């Protein structure tokens, strides 16, 4: 079994177990994401959007209620059960599987894509960003919210306690910020924005125990773009003489 296969096996089982109480679990990382991330893409309306790692549909619900047509992909069948319960009668297509395994993703190419708290689980960053590049329309934006590299460097990854107190650790990779950004550029994406999200009073107001996070880097947020198609890409090559990445059909 490869490292990727082991990561997928561990995380599929883990998120399936977490799915039953994920939305009510006190998680400062998820709470920080809820506070900071939606404002970056709240302007999106009546467009086609891909959400990678949609989970229980936290952000999917907002996107669909804004009139967007959303395709949500997640590894965990359990998470998608929770998402379907929220998303009835909304223009959402949910797909279960590992996008790095080449699963079919309908509805593309997309005007925008987003992912929250997923990058830590991706080993092949260049391959991941290349897949996103291929699924975006030229000019399309990719919004990323991720546990801050300062935290993964010190050993903090996704984890939870079951209701009986059993500690469950999910598999992750301690990516450095420079490695994420280099991989995105290698895949042909442009970094348009980069922000550090620190623990603040709004986070502490949700749970006084989270005061320990005040001033600490909680999340890293990026906005990437696929460049508008160039003349060389239109001819089927990149500037370095290699075939351009295919768009989704």
Q: What is the mean pLDDT of the chain?
A: 91
pTM value?
0.89
Give the DSSP H/E element, type plus range, for residue 217: strand 217-225
Res. 141: pLDDT tops 70:
yes
Q: Which residues pair with 223 in a beta bridge?
A: 143, 193
Split at pLDDT 50, 70, 90, the class of 160 is confident
Res. 94: pLDDT tops 80:
yes
pLDDT in tens, 175-212: 999 999 999 999 999 999 999 999 999 999 999 999 99
pLDDT in tens, 110-133: 999 999 999 999 999 999 999 999
Contacts of 191 (CB under 8 A, 6+ apart): 181, 184, 185, 222, 223, 224
Q: Which residues pair with 224 in a beta bridge?
A: 142, 191
- How far apart are alpha carbons 141 and 225 in whole angstroms? 4
Taking a C-beta distance cutoff of 8 angstroms, is the pair 129, 123 a contact?
no
- How far apart are alpha carbons 210 and 230 in whole angstroms? 47
Res. 73: pLDDT tops 90:
yes
Taking a C-beta distance cutoff of 8 angstroms, is the pair 247, 134 a contact?
yes
Percentage of the chain lying above the pLDDT 90 cut: 76
The size of the chain, in residues, is: 249
């Amino acid at each position: 079994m490869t490292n990727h296969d082991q990561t997928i096996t561990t995380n599929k089982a883990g998120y399936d177990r977490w799915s039953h109480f994920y939305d009510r679990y006190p998680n400062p990382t998820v709470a920080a994401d809820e506070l900071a991330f939606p404002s970056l893409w709240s302007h999106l309306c009546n467009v086609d959007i891909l959400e990678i790692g949609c989970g229980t549909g936290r952000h999917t619900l907002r996107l669909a209620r804004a009139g967007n047509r959303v395709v949500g992909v997640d590894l965990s069948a359990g998470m998608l059960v929770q998402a379907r319960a929220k998303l009835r009668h909304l223009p959402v297509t949910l797909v279960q599987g590992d996008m790095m395994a080449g699963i079919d993703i309908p509805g593309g190419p997309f005007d925008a894509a987003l992912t929250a708290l997923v990058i830590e689980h991706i080993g092949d960053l260049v391959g991941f960003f290349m897949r996103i590049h291929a699924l975006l329309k030229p000019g399309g934006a990719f919004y990323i919210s991720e546990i801050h590299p300062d935290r993964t460097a010190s050993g903090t990854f996704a984890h939870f306690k079951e209701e009986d107190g059993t500690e469950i650790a999910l598999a992750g990779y301690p990516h450095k910020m420079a490695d994420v950004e280099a991989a995105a550029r290698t895949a042909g994406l442009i970094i348009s924005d980069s922000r550090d999200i620190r623990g603040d009073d709004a986070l502490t107001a949700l749970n006084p125990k989270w005061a320990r996070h005040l001033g600490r880097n909680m999340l890293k947020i990026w906005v990437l773009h696929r460049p508008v198609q160039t003349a060389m890409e239109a001819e089927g090559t990149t500037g370095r003489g290699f075939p351009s990445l295919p768009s989704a059909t």
